[in-house]
Amino acid sequence: MRHLFATRAIEAGIDVVTVAGWLGHRDNGRTVLDVYGHLRKTHSHELAEGMRFLPPETEAKREVPTPASDVAFDI
């Protein structure tokens, strides 16, 4: 139960220092990261799905000029 609690707390976005305090660790989260820091694969995949590398307004359509002319292409 302790392991599940720590993992779920981290997945919920609770910082490791707080989780460490809840678990009674006094090492500023080092043990939490070493022992409990892994995330379940499903949670990791869900977070990866939400990753975006461009701001939303430029993600849909971006114009890139060519070096040879002033013509822009949609990407």
Taking the domains of the chain in order of start, what are their residue ranges? Answer: 1-51
Sorting pLDDT into bands at 50, 70 and 90, what band is 27? very high
Sorting pLDDT into bands at 50, 70 and 90, what band is 65? low
**7 or 44: which leads in pLDDT:** 7
* 48 within 8 A of 41, measured Cβ to Cβ: no
The pLDDT assigned to 73 comes to 46
Tell me the CA distances in angstroms from 23 to 5, 12, 30, 37, 51, one per residue in order. Answer: 9, 16, 12, 13, 30
User: How far out from the chain centre does Cα 27 lie?
Assistant: 23
